[in-house]
């Protein structure tokens, strides 16, 4: 950890040079421009997970907070996915930590490839990833999560010469409640509950908690939450539809 109060230009350069996903600013710029670019790139670096290049947990939390406000204002539906590689400990235990890192990088790349540029994919910690999908119609949630599950399951990750691995991923999702200000913690909890179900019911599957229906009329909704919704986190009475999709053995497979 570097204390930013003590950060010197050489340290900053070293940090940026170390970043596998970035590059050092050109040295032939004016000194001010150069310093500004170093600062900009440091800011960018502080939002990224160094192993995978995805957004880190801090950035994810920031985006989720922004999204929950946007949903409360616009009423557009947004989906949060929590995703966890199955039996990942076995990868580390059998093939070593470096092999585990390769799997994490390959999965991260696959996740990013399944999502739109407007979505945020992050490494939440360890072998857990998350994605925020703004403006995601409810009917699309399961389709996109299934696409992710299938893409990860079809990866062949080369971890040593002649050794490639296949892994599976469990996914839990939750739509944000429209028109009601909730909390990011509640939203994460709902998605986490679905992830827990996916794990406990066999792994390599998707469960999505559909958006809670709000038990008020459209007119009341407008009066209550029309311009800006302020107040306690609220989960009005809801009917949720859960769907289990896909079922297969979640254990890691060695391909050759
Ligand atoms: N290689 C590598 N391993 C990590 C990293 N971060 C966490 N891990 C490992 O991830 C593993 C997570 O194991 P568990 O939490 O038991 O989960 P699991 O084996 O995937 O089992 P389920 O989630 O129940 O399917 C642990 O062995 C951690 O050491 C990392 O950055 N690199």
In whole angstroms, give the CA distance from residue 65 to residue 181: 10
Q: Which of 8-12, 163-167, 233-237 has the highest mean pLDDT?
A: 163-167
Cβ 86 vs Cβ 127: under 8 Å: no
* Nearest CA, atom 12, ligand 1: 89
User: Mind telling me the catalytic residues?
Assistant: 127
As a CATH number, domain 57-254 is 3.30.70.270
Structural domain spans, the chain: 4-45, 57-254
Asked whether the whole model's pTM tops 0.80, one would answer no
Q: Cα(42) to centroid of ligand 1, in Å?
A: 28
Q: Cα(129) to centroid of ligand 1, in Å?
A: 12
User: Is 85 touching ligand 1 by the criterion CB < 6 Å?
Assistant: yes
Q: Cα(169) to centroid of ligand 1, in Å?
A: 12
Using CB atoms within 10 Å of the CB of residue 173, give its burial: 0 to 12 exposed, 13 to 18 middle, 19+ buried: buried
| Strand duo 206-209 + 169-175: pairing | parallel
User: Is 58 touching ligand 1 by the criterion CB < 6 Å?
Assistant: no
For residue range 232-251, list pLDDT tens digits in order: 333 333 333 333 333 334 44
Reported confidence tier of residue 166, pLDDT bands at 50, 70, 90:
very high
For residue range 24-62, list pLDDT tens digits in order: 667 666 777 777 777 777 777 778 999 999 999 999 999
């Amino acid at each position: 950890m570097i204390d930013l109060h003590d950060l010197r230009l050489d340290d900053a350069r070293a940090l940026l040079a170390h970043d596998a996903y970035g590059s050092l600013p050109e040295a032939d710029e004016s000194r001010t421009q150069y310093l500004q670019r170093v600062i900009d790139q440091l800011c960018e670096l502080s939002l990224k997970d160094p192993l995978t290049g995805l957004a880190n947990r801090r950035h994810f939390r920031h985006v989720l907070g922004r999204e929950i406000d946007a949903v409360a204002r616009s009423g557009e539906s947004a989906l949060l996915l929590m995703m966890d590689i199955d039996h990942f400990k076995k990868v580390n235990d059998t093939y070593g930590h470096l092999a585990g890192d390769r799997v994490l990088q390959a999965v991260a790349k696959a996740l990013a490839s399944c999502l739109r540029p407007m979505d945020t994919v992050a490494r939440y910690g360890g072998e857990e990833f998350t994605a925020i999908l703004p403006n995601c119609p409810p009917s699309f949630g399961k389709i996109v999560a299934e696409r992710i599950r299938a893409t990860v399951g079809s990866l062949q990750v080369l971890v040593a010469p002649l050794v490639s691995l296949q892994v599976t991923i469990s996914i839990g999702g939750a739509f944000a409640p429209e028109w009601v200000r909730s909390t990011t913690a509640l939203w994460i909890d709902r998605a986490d509950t679905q992830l827990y179900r996916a794990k406990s019911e066999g792994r390599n599957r998707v469960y999505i908690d559909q958006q809670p229906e709000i038990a008020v009329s459209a007119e009341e909704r407008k009066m209550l939450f029309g311009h800006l919704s302020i107040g306690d986190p609220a989960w009005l009475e809801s009917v949720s539809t859960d769907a289990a999709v896909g079922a297969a053995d979640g254990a890691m497979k060695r391909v050759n």
